[in-house]
Structures are given as structure tokens and as C-alpha cells.
Structure 1
Amino acid sequence: MAARRLHFVPLLAGIAVAVLTLQLGNWQIRRADEKAVLQAEYASPERSAPHPLGTQPPAEWQVVDLRGQWLADRTILIDNRVHAGRAGFHVFTPLRLAGRGGWVLVNRGWVAAPADRAQRPAVTTPGGEVEISGRVRHPESKPFTLEGEAATEPGIVWQALDLARYRVWSSIPVADFYVQQNDPAPDSLVRDWPAPDAGIDRHRGYAFQWYAMAALAAALTLCYVWQSADIRLWRLHGRRDSR
């Protein structure tokens, strides 16, 4: 039988693959748990009951009631938002709050993009004082933007919402959160917001696949070590028997 030695390169590679895939499986499980917590917060009675906006920063997904006036000429459109298979925009307009003062940026809903991308969709903004209800959302702290857009002053079409840039562009000190409007309004915008529970089962499925790969890598590594050790023991016994 040909001599077979235990080489450290395939041994370390097998261990590395097993450890890496195990960590990836754990990461997917953590992501699933985070999504489950998010879903529970979204559906909790405390977060679903409407509250007037107070002086303290509201929690994520809290339903709030707002009253104030729109400032239509500071509306921006967030591009590349798809609804029912159609491309469009999310419409963000600042609302000047009545009574307590201050400004809140509101995602009023989705509007389809015109066939000619050089044109802008027609958005109707109700005048006078309005009352709306919606859920509090916190945008990404460092959203992805194209290099060209980040280097120049943007127009009304943006790739992502950046509250700091919006304050500079609009000269309006909006709050550190925005509100995702839920109630109907005479503006023809679509407010069919998906619940934040998509992907839990997908993350768990990915975790199972990573764990299966980790188990396979560990089994193949142990088999390699066992075969190498078995051959060495066979050779050792063969030498002793020949003496």
C-alpha cells in the first residue's frame, strides 16, 4: 500500500471551511431572530395604537397622529421603488406641525414613474391644515448613494433618503425620523406598505444549508484524518510484525 501522510494544508482547509460555514449559519439565525423581534414590535398593541407626537423621540414602528401643513415645494422623490411590478418613486414631503411646531418628513406613498423618465410624476398635495396617521421609521445612518449625486447638490429625485443632506438641501430642520403615512388621502398615492416580516423563513433556510455544509466539511476532514492515522498505524504494525 502506498504511503499516505497527513498533510496540514488540506487539514487546515477543511477546518477553516467547517468553521466559516458554521459562523455563516449562526449569522443567518441571528438575522432571523432580529426579523422576528422586528415583526413582534410591528404587531405589538403598544406600537399599533396611535399616539400624538410628544416631546420624546418616538420608537420605531410607533403609530403617531400628526396635524399640520405640507410644504409642497420641498418634496423629494426617492427613485427605484417598485410596486406590483412597476417602477416608481416614494414621495417625501415635509409637514410643519401645528401647535408644538417643528417639522417632520413624511413618506406619503408610492407613485408610478412616467414612461418618459425625463418627466416627473404629477403629485397632488392637499393644501391647508391636514391630519395624518403613520408609522415612525428611522432611515439608514449612511445610505448608499451614487458618487456623482453625493458630490453635487441633488435635485428632487434622490436614490436614497439622507436626512442630513435633506436638511442642507431644503433648509428645513426636520426631525431625526420620518413617518410612513398609512391613512387615505386625496392624492392618488399608493400606501400599500409591506409588513417587516418577510425573510424570516428564508434566513432559517439559509442557516440550514450552511449548517449542512459545515457538517459535511467536518465529516470529510475527520475522514481524512482517520484514514491517514489508520494507514500510519497499519504501516507501524506491519514493521513490527516483520521483525
Structure 2
Amino acid sequence: MNLWRRPRWWAVLLTVAGCLVFLRLGVWQLHRADEKDELLRRYAASAQASLSDFAAVAATPPLDAYPRVRVQGHYLVDRVYLLDNPKHDQRGGVEVYAPFQVRDASSLLLVDQGFLPGNGTDQAPQFPPLPSGELTLQGLYQPAPGVGFEMGGNALAAQTHWPKTTIFLDLKQVQQDLGQSLYPRVLALDADPASIYVREHTLDFSSMPPARHRAYAFQWFTFAVVAVVMFIVLHRRRKPKPSDNA
């Protein structure tokens, strides 16, 4: 007895096409996970790299690389931005950014001072004044934090007092707010045991870390298996019951 029904051509086509799409999406997610793992490894290695000339990478930083640089200049001590993004501390806190006027340059460099833990209240934590005068800074020259979906427009333009607080750090908005051009990346200062700031910098993959890409890959591969199982089940003849032959 033939236990299989001959499938229609369009059923075969849909099943094969669906499986190919699901498998392709799963493989793509695995590739993205591997790429982000590699970026994280490069970033971790950059923290121990030798210092580079900031002028050589300032305007056109290398893709997928995070040079450790030294730069001289002075802070705009009355201009501070607080990124309200409590990623280190359950009590909340802010990431503190300050514009830095690079020596003999017209553009400003936004410097990530580090994370300042909260104090258990809704008020922004108190931070020490920025040092004045000529300074030499060193750290990783890295992309700014990612910008998510913003509601209500530019929050910086609506604020008239410093420091200014934002939940997203958009370099274009900061540049407009300062009225002066910014370098395309920010400087994440090297760790300093004597600093009040927590400087545990990493790439911002919080919305889609490598593990989540692998979870999505498993999901797509599961869809491919389900499509094949459904095809088999739908085209399998049911064995006749004894009562059907009576």
C-alpha cells in the first residue's frame, strides 16, 4: 500500500523555497554573531595597544578598528552631557561626556569620562568639575553609542541649563547644540584607579549581542525543520481504520 500522496508542484516549490530562505537567514545570523565576536576581541585587544597619533586617524578612523590615541588640548569646562543610560549599576547612573578642544584644530572631540553610579534617587549624581588648562588625554577612539528611536525631537535643544541630559547620544545633535563641528568618534578615556568614574568601556551591542544572533539562527533553522515536517505530515496517507472496510 502506498502511504504517500503525490504532492502538488506548488507545495514542493513552497516547501523548498521556504526551507532555503530559513536556512539562509539562520546562516546569516551565525555570520553576524561571529563578526560581532571578532569586533569584541579586537576592541579588548585595543585597550592594551600602543598609542597612535590622533591626527592620523581623527577625521577618517579605520573601519572595524579602535585605535588607542593620545591628544592634547583643553576642555570646555562649562559644557557637559549626561547620557541617562544605567547600564552598570542597578541604582542607575549616567555616562558623562565633555567636549574637548583639540590643540591646533577647529573641531571638538567628545570625551567619555566614564560611568558615574547613581545615588538611589531620581536626581543626577554629582560629578567633579572638569580640569582646566592644557591637558593630555589618552584612550580609545571609538564610535559613539548607538542612537535608538527618539520621540519628541531633539531633547538637547529644549534644555537651557548645563549639564544637559539625554537618553541618546546623537553626535549631529551635539554638534548643533555646541555650534561647532565634532570629530566622527568619541574618546573613551583609559581606566584610572584614582578616578571617581567607572571606565569599563565596551562596544554597544546591548540591543543585539552575539548570543541573540545565535538564538535567532536556531529559530530560523527550527522553522526549516518544521516546514519539512509539515510537508511530510500533510502528504502522508492515513491508514484506513478496520471499520472503514466493513
Range class of TM-score, shorter chain: 0.7 to 0.9
- Tell which deviates more after alignment, 71-80 or 92-101: 92-101
Shift of 1:38: 1.0
Does 45-54 or 30-39 show the bigger shift? 45-54
Structure 1 gap segments, 5+ residues each: 232-243
Whether 1:217 aligns to 2:232 is no
Distance 1:51 1:66 in 2: 9
Inter-partner Cα distance in structure 1 for 2:157 and 2:90: 31
Instruction: Quote the offset at 1:147 in angstroms.
Output: 2.0
Q: How many residues align?
A: 226
**1:93 aligns to what?**
98
Look up the match of 2:131: 126
In the aligned structure 2, how far is the partner of 1:137 from the partner of 1:81?
Answer: 20
Question: Is 2:154 aligned against 1:144?
Answer: no
Structure 1 segment 1-243 matched on structure 2, within 5 A: 14=15, 18-44=19-45, 48-56=49-57, 57-59=60-62, 60-100=65-105, 102-117=107-122, 119-124=123-128, 125-139=130-144, 143-150=147-154, 153-155=157-159, 156-184=164-192, 187-194=195-202, 199-225=209-235, 227=236
| Unmatched tracts of structure 2, length 5 or more | 240-246
For residues 208 and 61 of structure 1, do their structure 2 counterparts lie closer, same or farther at Cα, with a shift above 3 Å needed?
Answer: same
Higher mean C-alpha deviation, range 51-60 or range 102-111: 51-60
Please say if residues 93 and 108 of structure 1, whose CA atoms lie closer than 8 Å, have aligned partners that are also in contact.
Answer: yes
Partner in structure 2 of residue 240 of structure 1: none
Query: Are the equivalent residues in 1 in contact too, given 2:93–2:116 (CA < 8 A)?
Result: yes
Superposed displacement of residue 175, structure 1: 0.8
User: Which structure 1 residue ranges, 4+ long, deviate > 6 Å from structure 2?
Assistant: 7-13, 195-198
Considering fraction of residues, name the structure with more helix.
1
CA shift digits 1:138-165 (9 cap, x unpaired) = 2368x22432243772431111111111
State the shift of 1:191 in Å.
0.5
TM-score (norm 2): 0.74
Q: Distance in 2 between matches of 1:6 and 1:81?
A: 56
**Secondary structure, counterpart of 2:234 in structure 1:** helix
**Aligned sequence identity (%):** 26
Amino acid at match of 2:79: R
Inter-partner Cα distance in structure 2 for 1:149 and 1:88:
23
CA–CA distance in 2 between the matches of 1:29 and 1:149?
36
Deviation per CA, 1:106-139: give whole Å up to 9, x if none: 111011234442x332221122222222111223
Q: Show CA shifts across 1:145-188 (max 9, x none).
A: 43224377243111111111111111122211111112328651
Relative to structure 1, the CA distance from residue 85 to residue 179 in structure 2 (aligned partners, 3 Å threshold; closer, same or farther) is same
The 2-side partners of 1:138 and 1:110 are apart by 17
The verdict on how the C-alpha distance between 1:127 and 1:185 changes in structure 2, with shifts beyond 3 A counting, is farther
Amino acid of the structure 2 residue aligned with 1:85 = Q
